[in-house]
Structure 1
Amino acid sequence: MTLPAVALAEPADRVGRGWTTALSLANGAIWVGWYGPLQILLARQAEQFAPASGMPKESLLAWVTGVGAVVSLVANPLFGALSDRTVSRHGRRTPWIVAGTVGGALSLLLLAGADGVGALFLGWGLVQLTLNAAFAAVTAAVPDRVPRLQRGVVGGWLGAAQLLGVVVGTGLATTVGGVGGGYAACAVFTLVGVAPYVLRYPDLRLAPADRPAWAWRPFLAGFWISPGRHPDFGWAWLTRFLINLGNSLVLLYLFYYLRDGLHYDDPGFGVLILTAVNGATLLATVVVGGIWSDRIGRRKPFVLWSGALMALATGLLAVWQTWTGAVVAAAVLGIGFGVFTSVDFALMTDVLPEAIDRGKDLGVINIANSLPQVAAPALAAPLVNHVGGYPALFLTAAGVGLAGAVLVRQIQGVA
């Protein structure tokens, strides 16, 4: 597995538990760096800085997360493409994992000391830039190293780690020393969590002869993947985008929904409880769904029905606006999202066009994760403030997610 040519070969050897565990821990650690701020810390800072900005806290938070998501839109495919072309004795992916993680930790510390709106925008933009460099490289390691019929289970473990990263990030942000302490704790956890993979598992190397010739015009043109030439890739991307948009509409204002809609006494702690409930049910299905999908060799039915279940859970929030309703919805959403997380990831790796562009193509797919963070604020703020409040927000989210689930049936090259 250390020969340069293996970097572009379709993997055949199954990866071991140690490699999967280390990669999953690295993935989860990156999500700690993202979701401690997204779930709690940015909302608290937006509330603190809103009076000076002249904007409602909801609008300020929407602008900050939206600008960060725009950075993510560019950073993920860009760093994925750069890692595809990296010729280094440390491999293609490892240099970017290290640089992105260290940069992300420093950016989180910058946010910890933010004293105004400008620092808030700058800090979150840098967090998105740097952690997306690491995430693009971590994600690309899967099609580099994992055979197709093992990708469901590996995707399941990555999804479990992602969820644990959200829970841990939310817990650190809620319980450790206020806003500054929460950022510092997330930064340290991110560094420590990535270290075992980087230190223990050598990366595959790209032979200089296999590196594509560098020119700006074809490099930039490569980010457009024609849906006409690669229709399965296009439908898979649209499915992921719509389902993630539905989830983003729910998560963006969860803190404010608990406080202003349900009048929950401690909305930060309430977010932590709902995240834990969601995490428990997600963990119950994420690995099992991936294993089941690998064994029967099918992906689309799992994506379809898990997306429909998530839409049902989101619809519950619109019609059952109580704390009990929120807990039930979080549990059902976790069941659906667990299956979706593992199986949809495997489906995405099955529709990648070229081996040499795995990092870039997965980065384009990951736009379907970050673009909803741009679109969600633009949709959510008017829905909550001017249309129908939180019921309108949740019904819209359910309809969008259901549309994404149904469209997976358009993919022809994957069962």
Structure 2
Amino acid sequence: MDANQSEKLTEEPKWQASVTDSQQPKLPLLVGLAVSLGALLWLAPFMGLNSVLNPAKLAAIMGGPGAKVNNFLALLGTLGAVTSTITTIIIGALSDLTRSRWGRRTPWIVVGSVLTAAVMVGLGMINSASQLPIFILLWCLIQTFINMIVAPLIAVIADRVAPQHRGTISSIYAIGYVIGQYGGPVVGGRFLSSANPGLINTGYYALAVLMLLSGPIAAILMKEKSSLNMPRQKMDWSGFVKAFIFPIHNTRNFYLALFGKMMINIAVTAFGVYQVFILTSGMGLGNTSAGQYVSWMGTATMITAIVFSSTAGPVSDKMKTRKWPVAFAALMISIGTILPFIVRQPSTMIWYGIIAGIGSGIFFSVDQALNLEVLPSAENAAKDLGILNFANTGAQILAPVLGAILFSMVGDQYMPILPYLSVIALVGAALVLLIKEDRKA
């Protein structure tokens, strides 16, 4: 054997940004568990803070619930969404460019979980109105550091999962996501006590521990390979545009998915913003009864979303299509949204939870697989997924604004807003159906 042959045998295998179906005949279950547990352990603490502990702490600091607290929460939401929109794209791009012995995603996921947990502890230590500017700063830092987990973690599916398995792995991811989204506020609520107000701070510290675990657990399970032998991208103007700017080539499907997803999210988010007012001003319930119906509706949504998120992905793999299940999910959300307008009884809100929960479960699962398949470039997966995430953060910003516009248009009423939201969900479905799929046998 000559020297050249020996060198070829010892040469490292060529690095690849994605996996083909032929290279991965078996389901990569550990990758699915990694992204699912990672999502659960970052989203549950975040939702516990955002939905429960932050409002409770601010009410305690600012002298009780009221306009001041509501305005401050609106400010936090806007600044957080803007910060998240910007940082998720930048961090995603930097993750794509990372070369390390631990891979492209692992360093960001682990460091992000440590930094986010540390800032959560800092939020728990704020106890006076004079510290509210620091509260705002720390919240924006959380939105930045948590994207060090979110953007790279989702990109792991694009990196490590072949197209034939993406629906199933996205379903596994969605199970963790749904449990985190709906379970986080339940955990946060355990730290609310009229007899012991200081328990709120303990909640911040306990949830910080969960956040701290998210990165290391995901990293251990996914065992990412080194990216040191990945070709380095030349940082001239063309390379910079490719790494950091919105994609401009082969992007028809990409932007249809982005705006379709945004329309669906706007409908869901706006309904959530006005659900209490629909029950009170629209249906005549008192606050206590409205709160009970919101709780029942949330439980119905969580149960149906978990069931359908666990099954929709494998079904879409068998059907070899993503857009049709996503469009069907939007249809279910649309039907659930208009139902309380047609039958103005509080019980219809529970039916909304069931019907929209079915849609949300399918959407959470299959939409993620769809996102992965409309990416213009595997090498820039995290950055482009960060741009697609604008459909979530953009909806958080636009839903209240759109709701206020509709509210003024229909004469200071909440119920007539619902048909508009239903139509918006259908527009999202139509945009998704315009995506061109390569349905291979």
TM-score normalized with structure 1 length: 0.89
- Structure 1 unmatched runs, 5+: none
Alignment check: 8 A CA contact 2:17 2:378 kept: yes
Q: Does the residue aligned with 1:135 lie in a helix, a strand or coil?
A: helix
Aligned pair partner of 2:184 in 156, 162, 169:
169
Segment drifting more, 262-271 vs 207-216 = 262-271
- Structure 2 unmatched runs, 5+: 1-11, 194-199
Amino acid at match of 2:369: A
The residue aligned with 2:79 is 67
How has the CA–CA distance of structure 1 residues 8 and 16 changed in structure 2, closer, same or farther, with 3 Å as cutoff? closer
How has the CA–CA distance of structure 1 residues 193 and 54 changed in structure 2, closer, same or farther, with 3 Å as cutoff? closer
The residue aligned with 2:305 is 282
The residue aligned with 2:43 is 31
1:14-413 mapped onto 2 (5 Å cutoff): 14-45=26-57, 47=59, 55=67, 57-114=69-126, 115-116=128-129, 117-177=132-192, 179-208=200-229, 210-214=231-235, 218-219=239-240, 222-226=243-247, 229-254=250-275, 262-265=285-288, 271-320=294-343, 322-381=345-404, 383=406, 387-413=411-437
Alignment check: 8 A CA contact 2:90 2:383 kept: yes
CA distance in 2, matches of 1:409, 1:250: 23
Amino acid at match of 1:37: L
How has the CA–CA distance of structure 1 residues 54 and 394 changed in structure 2, closer, same or farther, with 3 Å as cutoff? same
Shift of 1:254: 4.6
Query: Looking at CA atoms only, which structure, 1 or 2, has the larger radius of gyration?
Result: 2
Alignment check: 8 A CA contact 1:66 1:377 kept: no
Alignment check: 8 A CA contact 2:99 2:230 kept: no
CA distance in 2, matches of 1:253, 1:46: 21
Aligned pair count reads 413
CA distance in 2, matches of 1:406, 1:252: 24
1:16-58 deviation line (CA, Å, top 9, x unaligned): 3333123201111111132223333344455556779995544
CA distance in 2, matches of 1:268, 1:6: 54
TM-score normalized with structure 2 length: 0.84
1:365-391 deviation line (CA, Å, top 9, x unaligned): 111111111212323355558853432
> Which protein has the bigger helix share?
1
The residue aligned with 2:197 is none
Identity of aligned residues (%): 27
Shift of 1:120: 3.7
Shift of 1:358: 0.9
CA distance in 2, matches of 1:157, 1:9: 19
Segment drifting more, 117-126 vs 213-222 = 213-222
Amino acid at match of 2:94: L
CA distance in 2, matches of 1:137, 1:100: 10
How has the CA–CA distance of structure 1 residues 297 and 264 changed in structure 2, closer, same or farther, with 3 Å as cutoff? same
Alignment check: 8 A CA contact 1:76 1:136 kept: yes
CA distance in 2, matches of 1:385, 1:60: 23
Alignment check: 8 A CA contact 1:383 1:389 kept: no
Alignment check: 8 A CA contact 1:26 1:194 kept: yes
Amino acid at match of 1:146: V
CA distance in 2, matches of 1:334, 1:239: 19
